[in-house]
Amino acid sequence: MIDFLVSVFMIKPINLFECESLAKQQLSSMTWGYYSSGALDEITLKNNRKSFNNYQLYPKVLVDVSQINLSTKLLGQTLSMPIGVAPMAFQCLAHPHGEKATAKVLSDLKSLLILSTLSTTSLEEVAACQENNLRWFQLYIHKDKGLTKALVERAEKAGYTAICVTVDAPMLGKREIDIKNQFTLPEPLKLANLVTLKDLDIPNSSNQSGLFAYFQQQIDPSLTWKDLEWLQSITKLPIVLKGILRADDARLAVENGVKSIIVSNHGGRQLDGAITTLEALPKIVEAVGNDIDIIMDGGIRRGTDVFKALALGAKAVLIGRPILWGLTVNGEAGVNHVLELLKDELLLAMALSGCPSVTEINDSFLIKS
């Protein structure tokens, strides 16, 4: 009914919080729980959002802001705005068009999409939806290195321009709502990138979530920096690491030939009590400077949040859950609306702060509370 009202009467959420509220009314309790929950007591999940309140904006005046330039570059590719989409599994739980709808929007907006290994649409189908190649493939390194190699080769062949390795999930964080709901993929949804391998589907489990069982069975917990050498030996694509929170790990990433890092705590879904991404960002920027492209995700709900992340040194940010809310509410149009809301809010924040270009945003525009 809500989807009908949005489509027919053009009722649109005016911010991401309204979009979240509408999505909650439409999703099943199992899907809502999977999308919205964090690990254990959800301390990190909540603090990701709260951390933005620790910084006040410090605007300049009498600056010509008649023209605002939102463009930025990641790995040499130009994005129309410093806002991309984080890798998120199982988007067809939100809408039948799932990852394809999200991909089409990012293609139209000329910004970055990172596709999850655990997508419900194959990486080839998603690539076919995009006219530009601003797409990276997120990789979980499986115990079966042959499978991992095959995924990398498929991504390279399909025109993905980077491999984004998730490094903060050697084991799955304990998400109690998923355990309570015994989360699994409902029929007919499948792990589309692994559809030919029946034993790699999300299993049913009577005492834990199916995703937890999958990680126990398939994801390699022995992954170390040495494995990056193997990965680099099988692909010419640049390697991005997602899940960096420490400055020393960021330096190691540079030393090991990584081209970009994503400062991320997995949306508060892994180690509960971990530092927030906004808190982690300044020390990482100080440690690696301009040696590597730094991206950040976690808790972003307003254009001013994007501005603060950029001011602390991120070149771009990634949005996760809000994309799922938009997808739920109105499919492709809903995803577009979410990103346009953030884009417009960022433009306004830049104008009111006296900052006409993304490249001019720096920490002089912030005061820590």
Say if residues 360 and 369 touch (Cβ distance below 8 Å): no
- The answer on whether 88 is annotated among ligand-binding residues is yes
Q: Given 95, 97, 142, 266, which residue is catalytic? A: 266
Q: Is position 236 within any domain?
A: yes
Q: Is position 138 within any domain?
A: yes
Q: Is position 1 within any domain?
A: no
- The answer on whether 251 is annotated among ligand-binding residues is no
Q: Is position 17 within any domain?
A: no
Q: Is position 13 within any domain?
A: no
Structural domain of 62: 26-362
Helix 98-109 with 321-353: angle, nearest 10 deg: 20
Q: Is position 15 within any domain?
A: no
In degrees and rounded to multiples of 5, residue 44 shows phi and psi of -65, -40
Instruction: State how many domains the chain has.
Output: 1
pTM: 0.93
What would the 3-class secondary structure string for 237-273 be?
CCEEEEEECCHHHHHHHHHCCCCEEEECCHHHCCCCC
pLDDT in tens, 330-351: 999 999 999 999 999 999 999 9
- The answer on whether 55 is annotated among ligand-binding residues is no
Q: Domain of 94: which CATH number?
A: 3.20.20.70
- The answer on whether 87 is annotated among ligand-binding residues is yes
- The answer on whether 321 is annotated among ligand-binding residues is yes
Is 199 buried (19+), middle (13-18) or exposed (0-12) by CB count in 10 A?
exposed
pLDDT in tens, 245-300: 999 999 999 999 999 999 999 999 999 999 999 999 999 999 998 899 999 999 99
Q: Is position 368 within any domain?
A: no
Catalytic site includes residue 266: yes
- The answer on whether 140 is annotated among ligand-binding residues is yes
Is 286 buried (19+), middle (13-18) or exposed (0-12) by CB count in 10 A?
exposed
pLDDT in tens, 118-165: 999 999 999 999 988 899 999 999 888 999 999 999 999 999 999 999
Q: Is position 54 within any domain?
A: yes
